[in-house]
Each structure stands twice: as C-alpha cells, then as structure tokens.
Amino acid sequence: MEDAPLGRLEDLPADYVAQMRAQNLVPLWPSLRALLPPTKPQPATRATHWAYEAIRPLLMRAGELTPIEKAERRVLVLANPGFGGGSMQASAAIYLGMQLLLPGEWAPSHRHTPNAVRMVVEGEGAWTTVDGEQCPMQRGDLILTPTGLWHEHGHEGDAPVIWLDVLDLPLVHYLEASYHVNGARQTVVPGRSDRAYSRAGLVPTPVFGRSSRAYPMLRYPWAHARAALLALAEDRPDLDAVQLTYTNPETGGHAENILGFHALMLRPGQVLALPARSPASVWHVIEGAATLTVGDGEGEGAEAPRFALAEADTACAPGYLPLTLANASAGAPAFVFVADESPLHQKLGLYETR
Ligand code: 1HN
C-alpha cells in the first residue's frame, strides 16, 4: 500500500512551532517518512572507489610535509562523499585510512575504545606491537588492535610501509564512547599468537599459568589465508563464494565485536553475484584485479556504479544492494579483503539478506 502524504512543518502556524521549540519539543510527523523510509533505508553511504595509484603519491607527500612526531599516525582518511566532503567515515560504522610509516619511524603506544585492524598493503620491515606481542607486518597480513589494547608501530626496514586501517570509529564516536590513552613504549613479551594458533581446530590448552586472552589471535598471516583459500577452491569446485572469515579461534565468533573481516578468492574468470545484505561493506584487492558493481541499476533510475579495482585499490558499498564481483583475469585468481558491518547487524538483530 502507498504511504499517505503526511503534514509538513510549514503547514503549522509559526507561533505554534516557536512555542514547541521553546519547550524542546518537535512534531514527529513531518520527519516520519525520512526516519522510516518505505521498504529500504536511504543510506548516506555512497558507492566509492579509492585508487591506490591516486592515494600513494599524496601519502608519500605527507611523509615529506609532516614528520611522524607532528602526526602520531600519518594517515589519509578515505572519506565517503555521501557524508559531505571531509567526512571521517566510509559508511555509518566504518572508518578507513591509509597509513604511512617511513624507515626508522615510530608511532607511539596508545590504546583507545574503537576497535581497529590493519591490512598491510606495501613494504617490509615494520611491526605493530599489540598487548606486548610484536607482530611483523607483511603484505596481506591482518593485524588486530581490538578495543582497549595497547598498540604502537615501528619500522626497521629501508622502504616505506603502507597499510589500510579499518576502525569502527564512526559508530563508537556516535555512541559518545570514543577516547584514547597514551602510554610508554611497550615491553615486548615472548610469544606469537599467529604461531600459537597456526592451525585451525588446534588451540593451545594451558594447564598452568595464563589462560587465553579475550583476543587470543592478533596476527593473521596472509600466507595462511591465501593457502587456505586456494585449498578450499580446489577441494570445493561446487562453492560459488570461496570465502573465509577471520575468527577468534577460542570462540569461533568474529575476530572483533563490531566489524567483520573476510578473505575472498575469485577463481580465474569468475563472476560472483552476491545477494543484497543489510550491512555496508568494504572491498580491498590484495592480489589481482576485479570489477565491483554496486546494485543492479533497478529503481531510482540510476545506473549501477561499476569500479575497476586494481591491486591495492579499495571501494565501499552501502547495504541493501546486490553486488557483483568479477575477476578481471581469466588466467589467475584474485584475492580480496572484505570488511563489513555484519557482526554489528547480527548482534542488533538487524541483519537481513534479500
Ligand atoms: C589509530 O590509533 C591508528 O594506531 C590509526 O595506527 C588510525 C584513526 C582514528 C583513531 C585512531 C593507529 C586511527 C587511530
């Protein structure tokens, strides 16, 4: 059934509107349709593509213009234009930034309430120490810095290191729960979670001493994820979506509480049609190249945005639209890192597939 038109603010006498305002009151009906649009949300999130080729020189220039001491974190934020120029968000809950660390630099230790992960894009020799664990940063690695854990970055290599930061900052900030605490350089403790949890289905079982941490696995090496994707693709020719989720190996749940992280392999020449799902998503090419089509061009008369994603490119898509990912190569697989709002939607009971 069609929605009946509702009364507008302009339909009300000015003195009545002024009297309501003076009492901190507003009428609902002029805003009701915008708050609850018919059949699906009207997201501010706009399908957007950030080419690494465009980001990289600007990030390198930031390295010349701004010493690390003046930046703490030298980052160019991937700002979704749907939230206005200069926004600090890619979607309602997702923040994205490209961070540069130059040889010899150190980004000091702090902790904060938003959860973060890093996806390493370029370079060798940097590390992130999280909760005392020194995690080497190699291309394609996923490193978690969950809420409240101390973290700092250092670089002992001889060429720039660049990574993609993904945080739930827009949500945590909206909740008025975002803050940070600075700390001293961490003492590195022995042990590496990517080694303790190096094989799925096998978890360390301490009998004495420290039991497992809330976030037991902090580094997910790309070499492991890539090998697992190739094995899955080979073993399961029937699978359309060759996809892995980064999980907490102790609980089997998502690696972090708010955002979800996945690694997806597109077979050579594969075209993967994905259903409309409620969470917004981010697509970052680790290896190869792919085309991302957002929506099916139906409704609103608009043509569906289509992005040719080269290696290291990043794109975001609003929720509630079907997506199509196509491998740009007929001869080689493509590997894509996906970040989305699915744990958040699932926990809040808002998750939908259409
Ligand atoms: C942060 O702590 C890092 O530790 C990077 O590298 C980006 C963006 C907003 C707030 C905190 C980091 C960040 C951030």
pLDDT digits (tens, 9 = 90+) for 176-224: 999 999 999 999 999 999 999 999 999 999 898 777 799 999 999 999 9
Is 197:191 a contact under the CB 8 Å cutoff?
A: no
**Strands 180-182, 133-137: pairing kind:** unpaired
Q: What is the C-alpha separation between 22 and 16, in angstroms, rounded? A: 10
Cα torsion for 262, 343, 83, 34, to the nearest 10°?
140
pLDDT digits (tens, 9 = 90+) for 135-172: 999 999 999 999 999 999 999 999 999 999 999 999 99
How far is the centre of ligand 1, averaged over its atoms, from the C-alpha of 100 (Å)? Answer: 12
List, in order, residues 6 or more apart from 48 with CB less than 8 Å away.
78, 80, 81, 82, 90, 315, 316
How far is the centre of ligand 1, averaged over its atoms, from the C-alpha of 331 (Å)? Answer: 38
Residue 100 has pLDDT above 60, yes or no: yes
Tokens for 300, please give them. 């609103």
User: What does the pLDDT average to over 310-325?
Assistant: 98
Which strand (E) or helix (H) includes residue 265?
Answer: strand 260-266
Within 10 angstroms of residue 353's Cβ, the number of other Cβ atoms is 8
pLDDT at 167: 99
Q: Exposed, middle or buried, 354 (CB in 10 Å: 0-12/13-18/19+)?
A: exposed
Query: Tokens 């901190």 map to which residue?
Result: 24
How far is the centre of ligand 1, averaged over its atoms, from the C-alpha of 48 (Å)? Answer: 22
- What is the pTM for the complete model shown? 0.97
pLDDT at 212: 79
Closest-lying ligand 1 atom to the alpha carbon of residue 153: 6
* Alpha helices, H only, 197-294: 222-235
Is 347:279 a contact under the CB 8 Å cutoff?
A: no
Residue 156 is which amino acid? E
How far is the centre of ligand 1, averaged over its atoms, from the C-alpha of 180 (Å)? Answer: 10
- Tell me the pLDDT band of 298, cut-offs 50, 70 and 90: confident
Residue 353 has pLDDT above 70, yes or no: yes
Residue 301 has pLDDT above 80, yes or no: no
Is 122:161 a contact under the CB 8 Å cutoff?
A: yes
Residue 46 is which amino acid? R
Cα torsion for 22, 25, 27, 31, to the nearest 10°?
100
How far is the centre of ligand 1, averaged over its atoms, from the C-alpha of 73 (Å)? Answer: 6
Question: Half-sphere exposure (CA, 13 Å, Cβ side) for 103?
Answer: 6
pLDDT digits (tens, 9 = 90+) for 229-286: 999 999 999 999 999 999 999 999 999 999 999 999 999 999 999 999 999 999 999 9
- Tell me the pLDDT band of 56, cut-offs 50, 70 and 90: very high
Tokens for 73, please give them. 């974190």
How far is the centre of ligand 1, averaged over its atoms, from the C-alpha of 119 (Å)? Answer: 13
Closest-lying ligand 1 atom to the alpha carbon of residue 145: 4
Closest-lying ligand 1 atom to the alpha carbon of residue 97: 7
- At 295, is the secondary structure helix, strand, or coil? coil
Q: Which of 68, 72, 74, 75 to mutate to test the pocket of ligand 1 (most atoms within 8 A of CB)?
A: 75
Which strand (E) or helix (H) includes residue 63?
Answer: helix 52-65
Which strand (E) or helix (H) includes residue 59?
Answer: helix 52-65
User: What does the pLDDT average to over 80-90?
Assistant: 95
List of long-range contacts for 66-69, beta carbons under 8 Å, 24+ apart: 68/101, 68/102, 68/105, 68/106, 68/107
- Tell me the pLDDT band of 297, cut-offs 50, 70 and 90: confident
Pick the residue whose CA is nearest to atom 12 on ligand 1.
Answer: 73
On average, the pLDDT of the chain sits at 96
Is 320:272 a contact under the CB 8 Å cutoff?
A: no
Task: State residue 306 phi and psi, 5-degree precision.
Answer: -130, 125
Ligand 1 site: residues with CB under 6 angstroms? Answer: 73, 75, 97, 99, 107, 112, 116, 151, 153, 165, 167, 169
**Strands 142-145, 219-220: pairing kind:** antiparallel
